[in-house]
Amino acid sequence: MKIMVGIKRVVDYAVKIRVKGDKTGVVTENVKMSMNPFCEIALEEALRLRESGLASEVVAVSVGPSKCLDTLRTALAMGADRGIHVHSTSSLFPLSVAKILTHLVLFEKPSLLFLGKQAIDDDCNQTGQIIAGLLNWPQATFASKVLLHKDKQVVTVDREVDDGIETLSLNLPAVITTDLRLNQPRYATLPNIMKAKSKPVNKFTLEEFNLQIKSDLEILQVTEPPKRKPGVLVASVDDLIHKLKHDANVI
């Protein structure tokens, strides 16, 4: 059984984001880029299924510029068996990425497609849902527990929803998007980083796919959030209570 995992390269979660002067986006030059944290969780879950003997192959896929190869190498160092890189230099919105990943799914025929619940750069939380729609596959989003049955026909997924945990049973093939509490992703060890260099990565260009990739979205501008007002030092608890009661700007 094959599992495919979508891996997005994003600005590292620890980097303080800076907006470009012309407000067309955020600065990515000379900024540390990493695997989207939710994709790490998706990959970890796929690797655990393979290690438990329920899956035979984990394929990591990334769509984007050449540097995505570095992120795919990290995925291979964590344990993915092979990578697929679809080269694109244009900024892609979820519908476009979903069409590309759907194309690959139809070709690779995985039984499970794992994606992060969202990419931390665009916070879209759309790609998995769109792919499930395009493929007409069942989907479980925000997965906090995944149980693949031994017959490999059905997967049970716990989802974190506002009221608690919802448990779904899906027939395979299916799309699962992963939430924070699903697992703790492993670190790539040095020997595995070395081994990853010889693992195969198939490379494609968008043109080879003959897909209609045109964006129906346009980013008008990106702006920084308003600066926080400086705090006020109060002299006593009474002052604090007075401020809380009478100064609407405090809360």
Q: Residues in the site for ligand AMP, rule: CB under 6 A?
A: 6-8, 36, 38-39, 42, 61-64, 92, 94, 97, 115-116, 118-119, 122, 124-128
- Of 99 and 243, nearer to ligand AMP (C-beta) is 99
- Smallest gap, in angstroms, from Cβ of residue 109 to ligand AMP? 18
Cα(126)–Cα(128) distance, rounded to whole angstroms?
6
Cα(182)–Cα(161) distance, rounded to whole angstroms?
14
- Smallest gap, in angstroms, from Cβ of residue 70 to ligand AMP? 13
**What residues pair up with 146 in beta bridges, in sequence order?**
157
β-pair type (9-11, 33-35): antiparallel
Length of the chain: 251
Q: For 115-136, give one letter per residue: b (16+ CB within 10 A) or e.
A: bbbbbbbbeebbbbbbbbebbe
- Of 122 and 166, nearer to ligand AMP (C-beta) is 122
- Of 141 and 196, nearer to ligand AMP (C-beta) is 141
Q: Please report which helix (H) or strand (E) contains residue 216, including its range.
A: none
β-pair type (201-205, 2-6): unpaired
Q: Which residue is at the shortest CB distance from ligand AMP?
A: 116
- Of 209 and 234, nearer to ligand AMP (C-beta) is 209
- Of 59 and 155, nearer to ligand AMP (C-beta) is 59
- Of 65 and 234, nearer to ligand AMP (C-beta) is 65
- Smallest gap, in angstroms, from Cβ of residue 170 to ligand AMP? 18
- Smallest gap, in angstroms, from Cβ of residue 115 to ligand AMP? 3
- Of 208 and 239, nearer to ligand AMP (C-beta) is 208
- Smallest gap, in angstroms, from Cβ of residue 203 to ligand AMP? 14
User: Are 217 and 90 a contacting pair, CB within 8 Å?
Assistant: no
- Smallest gap, in angstroms, from Cβ of residue 34 to ligand AMP? 12
β-pair type (33-35, 139-148): unpaired
Collect all residues with Cβ–Cβ distance below 8 Å to 209 and sequence separation of at least 6.
Answer: 86, 100, 103
Q: What is the DSSP letter of 236?
A: S
Q: Is 71 left (phi over 0), alpha (psi -120 to 50) or beta?
A: alpha
- Smallest gap, in angstroms, from Cβ of residue 100 to ligand AMP? 8
Q: Which two tokens stand for residue 7?
A: 């891996």
